[in-house]
Every structure is written in C-alpha cells, then in structure tokens.
Amino acid sequence: MNGAQSLIRTLVDAGVDVCFSNPGTSEMHFVAALDSVPEMRGVLALFEGVVTGAADGYARIADKPAATLLHLGPGLGNGLANLHNARRGHVPVVNVIGDHATYHKKYDAPLESDIEAIAGSLNGWVRRSANSADVGADAAFAVAAAQEAPGKVATLILPADVSWGDGGVAVKPVPPRSPQTVAETTVKAVAEVLRTGEPVALLVGGLACREAGLRAVSRIATATGAKPFVETFPARLERGAGLPTIERLAYLAEQVQWQLEGIKHVIVAGTKSPVSFFAYPGKPSDLVPEGAQVHTLAELDQDVVAALEALADEVASDVDPVLQEPARPALPSGPLTVQNWVEVIGALLPEGAIISDEANTSGLLLPGATAGAPRHDVLTLTGGAIGQGLPVAVGAAVAAPDRPVIALQADGSALYTISALWTMARENLNVTTVILNNHAYAILRMELQRVGAEAAGPKAKDLLDLARPDIDFVKIAEGMGVAATRATTAEELADQFRNALAEPGPHLIDAAVPPLL
C-alpha cells in the first residue's frame, strides 16, 4: 500500500473514520486512497473553515476526533480560526495537511509556505511525515496526541511523495495518555475550603459540563452553599429537564463581577480562573474578586469528573443533586424580539437536540428559555473566533445523524463560513439553522461603547452596520441548496421551526430579530 492508504487505514483502525475535506493537487493521492479504505467517510466542504469547524463539532458529540484534509499553508490558514476554537475548547482534531513533495520544497514553488509556523501557533502536536513507511506510525501518534487529556489539535504534514510512495504500513492504535487523577490531599484541601463557611464559588469546565460532573457540582453546591458556575464557553454543556441547571459564568466582565460579588474563595476545576474576555480601559482583567483566593481542584489535564465526585462524596455524601423540572415557556406572539424568539425555541426544542450556539447578543436570553426544555446539548463559541456555528452544526449532525441539530446563528458571524450550508445540503444533514438577522455587528456596537470609544462618528458606526445592503439569507441558503423561509413574527418562527424539525434534511429560517441595543 502507498503512504496515503496506510495513513487512512491507521486512522480508521484508531476510530477516526470521518474526514472533513477540502483537497488540492498535493492531496490527490489521499483522495484516491479513500476508495481503498471503505470505512473512511469523506465529507466535502467548500472552505477550510467549514472543514475544521465541522471536525470540532463532530468531536464534541462523538467524543473522538475526526480528521481534516487541508491543502498546504493557505488551506491551514483558512481553517485556522476554527482550529483556534477547537484548541480553546480542548477538542481533539487530527489535521492532515498535504504539502509539496519532499524534493520539491527547495524550488520554493508558488504554494510553498511555512506550514510548521502556522500549525505551531495552535500549541498542539505537529509532525511532518518523512517517508511512506513512517506515515502510519505518525498517524497513530497523531490520534493519540489529539486525544491526550484535555484534547488538542494534532497536525500531520503529509508531503505528496510520502503520500504516493510505496511501502506504507498500517499501524495499530496508540493508546492516548489517560488524564491524571487528582490527589486525595487536593480533594480534602478543597473540602476544607468549602467547610470554612465563607462565600465560595465553584467554577467548572471541560468534561465537568456533562451530566456526571454537573450532578457532582449540584450536590456540592446544595450541601455547602457554594455558588456553582460552568465556564463561559463550554465545548459541550449538557442541560435540560432531569439534569442540574448550573449557571454559566457571564461573557461581560461587569456581569461576572456581579456573579462573584462577595466571594472569598474561587474553586476551579477543569478550567482556568476567570479573566475578562477583552481588556477595557480602567477595568480589571482578572475577574477574581479582590482579596479572594483561588483553589484548583483539577487542572485541565486531570480527571475533573472523578475529582468532583470525590469532593461531593467528601462534603455531600448524603445529598442528591437538584434536578431541573420540565418547564417550557408558552408560545409567544407578535413581531420577533430578542425576548420572544428564545421562547419559541424553548417551547419547541425537541428531545435530544444539539444546539450550536453562535447567537451572540441575540442569544442573551436563550439559557433561561431553554433550561427546562427536554434534555439537550449546547455547543458554544469556545475560542471567540466567530464563524464557528454553522460548521460545528455540520460536524455534530455527521456525528449524531439521529439527533436534531439546531444552529442558532448571528447574521454577521454566519458570513465567515456560510458555505457550511452547502455541505448540510450535500450530506442531507438534519440541521435547522435560525439566522438572527439584526443587520448589524450588534456586539461591536456594544463593545464600541464598552471600550470607552463613545465619541465614534458616522464612519465608525458604518463599519458595524450590515444593513447596506441587507443580507437575504433565504436566497443565500437556496443558492446553496438549503430550503429556507423568512420569519418576522413569533408565530411564523414557531410554524417554520416546527416544520423544519418535522422534515428531514437541512432548513434555514431567516429570523428578523431586532438588535439588542
């Protein structure tokens, strides 16, 4: 077998059997090799940001990495923003990046660039396969590296001649390193903090945002009075009726200060101590209240769920978690507002839904409206690089074909990776996209005020305005093969949302929700 065939066979044997792809000439032997390994599914995207975001969304739901197939440095560049989000969410991704043949690089052909430098910015694992006989082993290590706790982006650079050369060897999976166990002394020390009676906040992230972790958090909070929070942007948050509802730490620093007011101890587990998303003139970057102490229960690479369960057994051995009762908002009526569109979603959210949430300012009231809906997952914008929502929905739908995927997507952010709609159509994915179309970079209007740049004039405001011309997402979706409708009232949104969920395949609703501000 050639290098490409050994690579794909090794990936499949390690459980990596989906490859989101946007290939070029240097990847043609990889593409040709797909037919020799029937278990590998190739999913085409028309832009690399869709490829990488889909790999991210896939892994969040499948709990194992997908592969990407990218074309040299420019392909990696196009995929970099969503790889940044994956990195920040500690989501495993295995990049395969084709490069020029080893002997061709010295000629500095037009597409030559420093792939290692770009991939290196992701602080993950990077390796260049040197010959066809090694590429199988390199792939096995890449999958293990991606899955090493808490999850990272592993990049395998595949020169064209390594791909087409003979002598490839498929290699057995390399077991990823297990997460470290938190020491019992650490658990007991944190338990002592909870027993002081002083005001404590418990902030958890990573895998603690799934059911087992949340149940432990709820038990601890109920028994000790600690204020529990999940991190601001969890990669995957399990929530809904029957699960504990744990508030997310807010995005705005002002709100975090309010959430943590009076706190004397911040216990962190599976995430980092809270910091401001951006700096603002005259405002602190560190959001731990002055004088409060930070205690780490579990580092990012440790087994946070086991640590939380051990802590719960220590301080709440006879306490049950508080579980969310089923509760849905009533279906609202009238013209769409920032308030009522989330009530429509909350009223109609189906059991087992996966929400890809990039609603940004329009989604401020979403958590409250969906807390008591049937159990669902929420995938959030982990790294702050917008243009993630639609690709992540693609990947989630590939990972869970039997679950309804709902992409709640701000208009401005949607345009970065809009061709994700085409992949939804091509793969007939059950994704219902709701575009919150407020014709503005509304979050930047807010940020323009928050950074103290109130004196902004018409030129500045014009750069935050998407209304000249208005963007018609119905036409764009139809142009990419996705059925689409427009909703201007809550009733229309409810009807269209219900219909979209009832029919197989992708749908888009262009919802005229006015800006928050």
Q: Shortest approach of its own copies to residue 207 CB, angstroms?
A: 18
291 vs 469 by CB, closer to its own copies: 469
Q: Shortest approach of its own copies to residue 458 CB, angstroms?
A: 7
120 vs 225 by CB, closer to its own copies: 120
Q: Shortest approach of its own copies to residue 449 CB, angstroms?
A: 9
Q: Shortest approach of its own copies to residue 158 CB, angstroms?
A: 13
User: Given the DSSP bridges, would you call strands 376-379 and 354-358 parallel, antiparallel or unpaired?
Assistant: parallel
Decide if 230 contacts 380 (C-beta within 8 A). no
Decide if 507 contacts 430 (C-beta within 8 A). no
Sequence-distant (6+) residues with CB within 8 A of 479 are none
Distance CA 38, CA 381 (A): 33
Sequence-distant (6+) residues with CB within 8 A of 178 are 149, 303
The continuous run of DSSP H or E covering 268 comes out as: strand 265-269
61 vs 288 by CB, closer to its own copies: 288
Rg, the chain, Cα only: 23
Sequence-distant (6+) residues with CB within 8 A of 176 are 143, 144, 145, 146, 147, 148, 149
49 vs 389 by CB, closer to its own copies: 49
Indicate the SS3 state at residue 493. Answer: helix
Give the residue from 215, 160, 176 showing the smallest Cα distance to 94. Answer: 176
Token digits of residue 194: 């909870």
312 vs 385 by CB, closer to its own copies: 385
Q: Shortest approach of its own copies to residue 34 CB, angstroms?
A: 4
447 vs 491 by CB, closer to its own copies: 447
Q: Shortest approach of its own copies to residue 318 CB, angstroms?
A: 38
Q: Shortest approach of its own copies to residue 125 CB, angstroms?
A: 16
Token digits of residue 307: 């640590």
**Which residues does residue 238 pair with via DSSP β-bridges, in sequence order?**
377
Distance CA 421, CA 433 (A): 9
Kindly report the length of the chain: 517
**Torsions phi, psi for 406 (to 5 deg):** -125, 115
The DSSP string of 229-261 is: EE-SS-S-EEESTTS---PBPPSSHHHHHHHTT
Decide if 376 contacts 353 (C-beta within 8 A). yes
Q: Shortest approach of its own copies to residue 421 CB, angstroms?
A: 10
379 vs 443 by CB, closer to its own copies: 443
Give the residue from 491, 509, 487 showing the smallest Cα distance to 500. Answer: 509
Decide if 394 contacts 414 (C-beta within 8 A). no
353 vs 431 by CB, closer to its own copies: 431
189 vs 460 by CB, closer to its own copies: 460
Token digits of residue 128: 């260049």
188 vs 272 by CB, closer to its own copies: 272
CB-hemisphere CA count at 13 Å for 247? Answer: 15
Q: Shortest approach of its own copies to residue 377 CB, angstroms?
A: 20
Q: Shortest approach of its own copies to residue 252 CB, angstroms?
A: 11
The continuous run of DSSP H or E covering 216 comes out as: helix 211-224
Indicate the SS3 state at residue 215. Answer: helix
61 vs 480 by CB, closer to its own copies: 480
Q: Shortest approach of its own copies to residue 164 CB, angstroms?
A: 6
Q: Shortest approach of its own copies to residue 303 CB, angstroms?
A: 22
197 vs 469 by CB, closer to its own copies: 469
Decide if 404 contacts 458 (C-beta within 8 A). no
